[in-house]
Amino acid sequence: MATITPDYEKTDLGTIQIAPEVVEIIAGLATIEVEGVAGMSGGLAGGIAEFLGRKNLAKGVKVEVGDKEAAADVSVIVEYGHRIPDVASAIQQNVKNAISSMTGLHVVEVNVHIHGVHFKSADKEEEEPSSLRVK
């Protein structure tokens, strides 16, 4: 009979332990898969919104992992033109499904914090002058 102890599960062959950082990475990747997400935000503590890079896949994600349950908070920047409630709902569903399917944890909540809106036209305007200077 398998027994659950804090932070890991005992099996006949040994223990299974999933680090909270792993759950954060899963939640971060599930978030950026959603259409309308421009990037992740550092949250209130970070102050300045930063886009997700390969170096920090858990940027803008905070999770609490218990014995059999998990809760996640994700901070995102939404692309202009997308309906924010629809994007947030899709994030919640995608994060819940990813964590549940990959870890077996029951996801009790996924809180989505919108920290900004990304305008694509602003990037294009910034890129054009710099490309003219290079030539």
Q: Is residue 63 part of a domain?
A: yes
Q: Looking at the 3D structure of the chain, how many domains does it have?
A: 1
Q: Which residue has the higher pLDDT, 129 or 27?
A: 27
Return the residue matching tokens 């030539």: 135
Q: Is residue 64 part of a domain?
A: yes
Residue 64 domain boundaries: 19-134
The packing angle between helices 84-103 and 20-32, to 10°, is 140
DSSP state of 66: -
Q: What is the pLDDT of residues 9-66, one digit of tens each?
A: 778 888 888 899 999 999 999 999 999 999 998 744 444 444 444 457 788 999 999 8
Report the CATH number at residue 61. Answer: 3.30.70.1350
Is the pTM here over 0.85, yes or no?
no
